Structure 1
Amino acid sequence: MNSDRVKHRLGRLVSLGLIRTIVPGVSSSIFRDGWLASIFYLNLNNPGFDRPPANAIGMSLALGDDGFGAFDRLEADLYDLRHQLRKRRGVNDNKALLAHAWPHYFTPEAVLRYLFNERAPALLALRVCMYRHAADLLDDFPVGKVALSKEQESKLIAALQAELTGLGVEYPAESKALDSGVQDETKGDDTLAAIVVNHFCSMIVSIANVYQTRFTELREAKFSGLRVCILPVRHAAGDGADKVGTVLFDGVANGRNLCTLVQASVGGGTICDTWRREADISIDARFRHGLLSKPKS
């Protein structure tokens, strides 16, 4: 079967709702093997699988800027840095520009340099990687704030180093666009790598805590003990993907509603809507929360 037929078949499975979303495979120097295979999120609640529903669903929608989470901040900083350099293309004072710019970003300079050459597909794959590690932390911390012990932090760092390059002794080559930037020559490769991997760890813990806060009520009252998967929800650039959060629970509690939408109210409380079946949720809402993907034309 050639690639066009494979894409057509996959598009058909997406349109039928058997596949929730596909994260395309990507070639990138930041991944240990130089590439990352495609990731498929199956909809095991679809009647086409001819089995009872397999996943309870939790959805949340943040208000205002509350959804501007860790990965959204990283992407915003990265896109702004590229925009600033594009505006200054052909100007010979990038050194002064960058020296002035670094302190204004939430993301450390070393991390921005590490990811400067990476485009949207690689960043999406990295987001999914962080979501997966955050979901693992939620399994380790079913209730309460996620806070890593030294042992847990070392384990997470080792997992990241096994997946990503440049987080050990070696450090990836910098973009030529950044060659004129100011970089502290007293910082060796090990120090730069430590800054990157420690920031990634902090991001993962932050993501886990955001999801823990959003879904504490569900995890305590309905779905305690069930493993968690965080769905990547796609939006237009700059729209804030973290404003919408969706998790799948590995199992369905008997007698419980399958799907729950938790929304923050203007008064500071929460409002919950529930559905007995996923099919009862409107199509628009399922697209918005990443439960379905629109087929590519």
Structure 2
Amino acid sequence: MEAAARSSSVGGCEGEYFRSKLLAKQLHMVEGTVTSALGELVGAGVVERLESAATGKGRPTISYQIAPQLLALMAAQQCSHAFHSEHLQRLFSEADIPAEILGAQPKPRKERAIVTKHGKPAPPGARSRLNICNRLLLGALLANADQFGVVVGLSNLKLRQLTGLDSESLSHRLQRLRGLGLIRSYVPGATSSIFRTKKVNSTYFLNLNHPGYGLGEVGAILVHWLPQSKVRSDAFDVLWRDVLAFRSPLPPLNRPETPKTVLHFLAHERRAVFDVLRLMLYRCASELLSRHWFDLTRDGEGHYDWLRDRIEAYLQPPAGYSGVDGESDPAWREILSHFCKLVVEIAQAHRARFGMANWIGFDLVQLCILPVLQSEGDEVIALLMQPRPIEASICTILRESSRGDLMPENWGAETEVPLDYRLYCGLLTLPARRLLKR
């Protein structure tokens, strides 16, 4: 359906037709499979089947068109694919998208690899091209991604409904998209009573700059890399350390920096919950950086009413924290204030380190903190910027020396950056071992 709606042979207008043979060629699929899928769409009422009168002894010509009532409905609704329409157009067009596993050893290509054992054309996946099921899954993620390619709130159940995949196939295909570099990384969801929604779905970070799309680079990426002598625990690492010490039956070695109300609030939570919580605070810190880049350092802890509202929308107060006379409990206010303080500290740390690149104009860009999952502490931090400032390269790695000097490495494309750099800086995820063996 996506391919038909976006195909140049359709044009999105009533009265324009397409045929299964052309659609099969564009999608690199067997025509019978496409015809069967179109039959399902006809049965669902979203596509109409048109049969022209036969001329001579030949069979009648079968054409299809998107149902006029569906076109009218789509025209009346706001397009939900505005952010990544070009990516979706490429994904569901006749363009081949390379599908080489990152870091895998290239295999010698055999002539027989382009056909099946029955002598028919092999599916695209057998020729190191992204196949239709993986395109469909990636399309569902793109259609639900924000401008930075971050997918939030999309459950596995919803993904299965959108793609028709079962749980096992969905898991394998998500791993493959990470192995191909089309998904930079992801943070698994978690269930906890501290969240208002109780269950928080996984978050995916898509790579909009993947060369397979054949499009220009989207935005810019900044990475700041500290020398080992300067690496410290960041604000969230301190929170995790204090919670672990609070759980221990032994007296803590150091005085905790986290209030006891917060320690009680998080005392029984698993590490997976903390990873989700960190991501929530990163989103708040990204908004804080985008809105207050220049005055952030002068505000100290700052007074941002909207920030408290954002955090309270994420977190659920424990039972008995309702307070009296409509006022929230003092303990709950202290918990919210501490998380606001953590967000400001995270934003200030990113502002101080990336602000060293004073030749880049940050005043007209939106910023998104990209979590770096491979490194410990604050050694490496990464930031996505849109649109790309004219002073910035597509990808810039800011290496800081032990003396505090900044040594920028400018790259014209992400693919120019060595693979081990990209993996360590959080721009990609190391593929599953089973994929590397293939």
Same topology, TM > 0.5:
yes
Matched, 1:252 2:388: yes
Query: Helix, strand or coil: the match of 1:194?
Result: helix
Residue by residue over 1:185-230, the C-alpha shift from the partner in whole angstroms, topping out at 9 and shown as x without a partner, is xxx9711111111110000000001000111144752554111110
Per the alignment, do residues 190 and 285 of structure 1 end up closer, same or farther by CA in structure 2, a change over 3 Å counting? same
Instruction: Specify the alignment match of 1:133 in structure 2.
Output: 284
Per the alignment, do residues 73 and 249 of structure 1 end up closer, same or farther by CA in structure 2, a change over 3 Å counting? same
Which residue type is aligned with residue 269 of structure 1?
D
Match of 1:38 among 174, 183, 202: 202
> Where do 1:132-151 residues align within 5 Å?
132-146=283-297
Instruction: Please report how far the alpha carbon of residue 102 of structure 1 lies from its aligned counterpart in structure 2 after TM superposition.
Output: 10
> Where do 1:78-227 residues align within 5 Å?
78-82=243-247, 84-85=248-249, 97=251, 101=252, 104-146=255-297, 153-166=304-317, 170=321, 190-218=329-357, 221-227=360-366
Give the structure, 1 or 2, with the largest relative contact order (CA under 8 Å, sep 6 or more): 1
Query: Helix, strand or coil: the match of 1:245?
Result: strand
Query: Helix, strand or coil: the match of 1:53?
Result: coil
Match of 1:15 among 144, 164, 179: 179
Which residue type is aligned with residue 271 of structure 1?
M
CA–CA distance in 2 between the matches of 1:169 and 1:102? 32
Structure 1, gaps ≥5 residues long? 89-96, 172-187
CA–CA distance in 1 between the matches of 2:349 and 2:253? 26
CA–CA distance in 2 between the matches of 1:262 and 1:168? 46
Query: Helix, strand or coil: the match of 1:273?
Result: strand
TM-score (norm 1): 0.81
Residue by residue over 1:151-210, the C-alpha shift from the partner in whole angstroms, topping out at 9 and shown as x without a partner, is 952211111111110189737xxxxxxxxxxxxxxxx97111111111100000000010
Query: Helix, strand or coil: the match of 1:21?
Result: strand
Larger Cα Rg: Structure 1 or Structure 2?
A: 2
Per the alignment, do residues 260 and 66 of structure 1 end up closer, same or farther by CA in structure 2, a change over 3 Å counting? same
Structure (1/2) with the larger helix percentage? 1
CA–CA distance in 2 between the matches of 1:71 and 1:113? 16
TM-score (norm 2): 0.56
Q: Is the 8 A contact 2:297 2:348 kept in 1?
A: yes
CA–CA distance in 2 between the matches of 1:295 and 1:154? 42
CA–CA distance in 2 between the matches of 1:167 and 1:205? 24
Deviates more, 1:251-260 or 1:200-209: 251-260
CA–CA distance in 1 between the matches of 2:406 and 2:236? 24
Per the alignment, do residues 150 and 67 of structure 1 end up closer, same or farther by CA in structure 2, a change over 3 Å counting? closer
Query: Helix, strand or coil: the match of 2:350?
Result: helix
Which residue type is aligned with residue 317 of structure 2?
G
Matched, 1:296 2:424: no
Matched, 1:72 2:237: yes
Per the alignment, do residues 24 and 161 of structure 1 end up closer, same or farther by CA in structure 2, a change over 3 Å counting? same
Instruction: Specify the alignment match of 1:265 in structure 2.
Output: 401
CA–CA distance in 2 between the matches of 1:207 and 1:149? 12
Residue by residue over 1:255-281, the C-alpha shift from the partner in whole angstroms, topping out at 9 and shown as x without a partner, is 742111112222222221111111111
Q: Is the 8 A contact 1:44 1:55 kept in 2?
A: no
Per the alignment, do residues 287 and 262 of structure 1 end up closer, same or farther by CA in structure 2, a change over 3 Å counting? same
Deviates more, 1:160-169 or 1:70-79: 160-169
Query: Helix, strand or coil: the match of 1:20?
Result: strand
Residue by residue over 1:126-169, the C-alpha shift from the partner in whole angstroms, topping out at 9 and shown as x without a partner, is 00111110010111123243466999522111111111101897
Which residue type is aligned with residue 225 of structure 2?
L
Deviates more, 1:59-68 or 1:257-266: 59-68
Matched, 1:228 2:393: no
CA–CA distance in 2 between the matches of 1:159 and 1:107? 21
Q: Is the 8 A contact 1:143 1:216 kept in 2?
A: no
Instruction: Specify the alignment match of 1:91 in structure 2.
Output: none
Paired residues in the alignment total: 264
Instruction: Specify the alignment match of 2:27 in structure 1.
Output: none
Q: Is the 8 A contact 2:188 2:272 kept in 1?
A: yes
Q: Is the 8 A contact 2:282 2:343 kept in 1?
A: yes
Q: Is the 8 A contact 2:301 2:345 kept in 1?
A: no
Which residue type is aligned with residue 296 of structure 2?
K
Query: Helix, strand or coil: the match of 2:208?
Result: coil
Which residue type is aligned with residue 10 of structure 1?
L
